Amino acid sequence: MRPFAEAREILIARAHEHRTPFRNADPVLVERVLDDLGGLDAEPWCAAWSAIGERYEREERWDLAYEHYRVARYPTVRCAAQREAYRRSQECYLRLPQDPPIARLRIPFRGGGTIVADLRVPHAPQPPPVAVLWGGIDSYKEERRPETYLAAGIATLAIDMPGTGDAPIAGSTDAERMWDDVLDHLAARSDVDGRRVVVCGNSTGGYWGAKLAHTHRERIVAAVDHGGPAHYAFEREWIERAERGEYPFALAETLSRAFGGTSEAEWIERAPSLSLLTLGVLDRPCAPLLLVNGIEDSVFPIRDMYLVLDRGGPKSARFYPGGHMGPSGSIDAIVPWVRARLNAALPV
Span 26-52, average pLDDT: 97
Report d(CA 9, CA 304) in Å as an integer: 28
Helices first, then strands: H and E counts in the chain: 13, 8
Q: What is the predicted pLDDT for the residue at 12? A: 96
Per-residue pLDDT tens over the stretch 185-196: 999 999 999 999
**251: buried, middle or exposed (CB in 10 Å: 19+, 13-18, 0-12)?**
buried
The pLDDT of 256-274, averaged and rounded, is 98
Instruction: Kindly report, as residue ranges, where domains of CATH 3.40.50.1820 are found in the chain.
Output: 103-344
Count of CB atoms situated within 10 Å of the CB of 109: 17
The pTM assigned to this predicted structure is 0.97
Q: Are 288 and 343 in contact (CB under 8 A)?
A: no
At residue 275 the predicted structure's pLDDT band, cuts being 50, 70 and 90, is very high
- CB distance 90 to 158 below 8 Å: no
Task: Tell me which fold the domain 103-344 belongs to.
Answer: Rossmann fold (3.40.50)
Structure confidence at residue 328 (pLDDT): 85
How confident is the model over 313-327, as pLDDT tens digits?
A: 999 999 999 999 999
Q: What is the pLDDT of residue 348?
A: 60
Distance CA 162, CA 174 (A): 10
